[in-house]
Amino acid sequence: MPSLSKGTSAVRAIFSLDVITAALAFLVFALAVVIVITRVANGRIRSFERKTKSSNTGEVTPLKTTLSTHLFLIPAVFCLAVSYAVQSAVVTYELHRNSPVSITSTFNYQYAGAPSSSASPPNGRRISILTFTQQLAAILSTTFLTGAIWLHSSNLTSNGTQAASPKTTSRIWNSFIITAIAAFGIAAWALGLTVRGSGQNALTFPSTITQDRITRIIYIVFRCVVVFSSTSVSIQVLTNYKNLKANGLPQNSERPLLARFSFVVVPLIWLRNIFIIVNIVMIYENVSNWSSTTNQALTFLFIIFGQFTNLTILFMVLWGAWSMGRSAGLSGGSNKNKNRNNDSGSSYTDA
């Protein structure tokens, strides 16, 4: 492995953050998988719903499990881990070929090995493939994360009110915006593939955004769709909390879970969206006349905050799903919920 001393202090700092973020993401991924495997193995998760039966009326109502949340959460955190791990590998390769590496204001490293040079840079094709792999993983992570946030808040609302959630209109709308994120992201990625070239002179994905106008436009549209979709989902989280607060069952344990989730995740989403909007402007506008100090400071802030928010949101979804599983009787620690339901004359049955 090449010495990181070949890179600037900013590159070394961001590289270290990438490695740490990848390691933490893989840890969260492992925890999520262990939770699901444990609950499936002990028979606590057999479908997307379990049933609760009232001992007073005999009425059976469905109770959401955490399975649907985990189906989005696990690929989201896995793709995030892959994204940062691949990004770290790209920097390693660039330093290995003695190519100066700097940080740009578009969340990306900039490599000085010009593809147009007469001599083909070593590992150019491999580095190009890695940057496209990293971008695809980031697109998929964003897509799955949006779905995980939506489903987690809807499931908590459904269990806390014992009313069906999400509604049909919510299913259609959120399916549409989640699909839109994936569609525009993959479209930008595919357009980049068409202009990347071949061999050792193949362009990296950040270079295709810089050099190809159509790719840059579609990528900007993708980022705008992410802002719009995540804002829509965050508003629905707050709406679900308001609904649960007003119509929730007495002593339901879902209300504090959704309150904690709303007051931590929603502000992070909104603040992240502000940074994405600034980033869109910096992609579209020519910032070459900005001082290098300004560019480095802004980029360092963008990258750190992006890593922090993504990991925090994913961890909050995992923590919320684990806590919801305990309150819904999906793990061994469900005594608190059983006491609540005995007071209201209810008991759980397997679906």
Q: Could you give the CA distance from residue 5 to residue 13 in angstroms, rounded to a whole number? A: 11
pLDDT range class, residue 182, cuts 50, 70, 90:
very high
- Token pair recorded at residue 73: 């959460």
The region of weakest confidence among 178-182, 190-194, 258-262 is 258-262
pLDDT at 209 over 90: no
Mean pLDDT of 202-231: 90
- Pairwise CA distance, residues 349 & 342, whole Å: 13
Residue range 64-86, pLDDT digits in tens: 777 888 899 999 999 999 998 99
**pLDDT computed for residue 331 by the predictor:** 46
- What pTM was estimated for this model as a whole? 0.82
Q: What is the C-alpha to C-alpha distance for residues 110 and 299, in angstroms, rounded to an integer?
A: 12
- Judge whether residue 267 has pLDDT over 90: yes
Q: What's the rounded mean pLDDT across residues 269-276?
A: 88
The full length of the chain comes to: 351
Task: List, for residues 290-332, the tens digit of each pLDDT value.
Answer: 666 776 677 677 777 777 888 888 888 888 888 875 555 544 4
Mean pLDDT over all residues of the chain? Answer: 77
Q: Which residue has the tokens 């100090």?
A: 293
For residue 328, which of 99, 146, 69, 155 has the smallest C-alpha distance? 155
Assess whether pLDDT exceeds 80 at residue 4.
no
- Looking at per-residue pLDDT, the higher value among 130 and 8 belongs to 130
Contacts of 169 (CB under 8 A, 6+ apart): none
Q: Which helix or strand (DSSP H or E) is residue 304 part of?
A: helix 292-327
Lowest mean pLDDT among 115-119, 219-223, 226-230: 115-119
Question: Helices (H), strands (E): how many in the chain?
Answer: 9, 5
d(CA 279, CA 298): 9
* DSSP character at residue 328: T
Question: How much is the pLDDT for 123?
Answer: 67
Q: How large is the average pLDDT for residues 216-237?
A: 94
Please state the rounded mean pLDDT for residues 87-105: 63
Q: Comparing C-alpha atoms, which of 33, 44, 47, 128 is closest to residue 76?
A: 33
Q: Give tens-digit pLDDT for 20-36.
A: 889 999 999 999 999 88
**Pick from 111-120, 169-178, 212-221: least confident:** 111-120
Q: What confidence tier does 286 reach under pLDDT thresholds 50, 70, 90?
A: low
Query: 269 versus 283: which is more confidently predicted?
Result: 269
For the ranges 35-49, 233-247, 249-263, the maximum mean pLDDT occurs at 233-247
Could you tell me the end-to-end alpha-carbon distance of the chain, in angstroms, rounded to an integer?
53
Which residues, 6 or more positions from 343, have their beta carbon under 8 angstroms from its beta carbon? 251
In whole angstroms, what separates CA 150 from the centre of its chain?
12
The structural domains of the chain, ordered by start, are 4-47+54-349 (1.20.1070)
Residue 199 has pLDDT above 60, yes or no: yes
pLDDT of residue 51: 62
